[in-house]
Amino acid sequence: MNKKLPYLLICLLTLLVSATTIAQTKTVLGKVVAKTRDLEGIFVKNTTINKSTYTQKGGYFTIEANPNDTLIFSAVHLIGRDKVLTKADMNKSLVFVPMEFFENVLDEVVIDRKVNSETLGFGKVKRYTPAQRNLHRATSSGGGILPVDAIVNAISGRTKMLKKAVELEAEQQLVLQILNKFPEEYYTNKLKIPVQYHMAFGYFMLQDPNILTSFQNVHTEQLGLMYAEKATEFLEIVKVLK
């Protein structure tokens, strides 16, 4: 009888460890935050227990995890990263995961040429932004002759990247419109948004459909209340990310 005791103790210990592990496993609700509205479809994987998922609209995701599990995040337009879940993360109602955007897509040197179609008498030239100019050059046939750019794009998929650049450029303009409803001092003094987070706050508000549909039509006083509510939420996110 005594010989069976060590075996029973080992079985009991194994059951306790398994039960503890199961008890710690829970569904984590998270949100990816980045300087873009394109937060849907980001790949999320728990490499520790081999579970994976994709973010939904707004960058939200749910995934099973335990404390100290490692999550990896990857997307074409974002710099990949990993995050180790702490016990504190497991107790949060929402886990924020900051990701960095590939800024180099929009980098462009613009050369102002003196000779153009307008000066040569062919009519007024259409003005393009840098991103729009790249996209036009990449997709235009150039009067029926297939350009080298078009051949390269067909192989590399660069056209898709340029279209994304145009979208991002338009997005940045919309962010500026939202922020320009109030002077910069309003954000730093009244809403307590640090100067270095001014644009980030604009991108954060851009993700809210209510702000998008209201910032041009709502009375300034009511809009101020909406901005103040978003500022409180934004500052909580910044506190978490520090």
pTM of the entire structure? 0.43
Residue pair 71/46 in contact (Cβ under 8 Å)? The answer is: yes
pLDDT tens digits along 1-38: 455 555 555 655 555 544 444 456 889 998 898 888 88
Measured CA to CA, the distance from residue 10 to residue 16 in angstroms comes to 10
Domain ranges of the chain: 25-101, 103-167, 181-242
**SS3 at position 10:** helix
Alpha carbon 111 to its chain centroid, in Å, reads: 31
How high is the pLDDT of residue 119?
46
Was domain 25-101 assigned CATH 2.60.40.1120? yes
Residue pair 85/68 in contact (Cβ under 8 Å)? The answer is: yes
How high is the pLDDT of residue 13?
56
Within the chain, which residues score under 70 in pLDDT? Answer: 1-24, 103-166, 240-242
* DSSP 3-state percent helix, strand, coil across the chain (nearest 5): 50, 15, 35
Residue carrying the six token digits 């949060």: 92
How high is the pLDDT of residue 108?
44
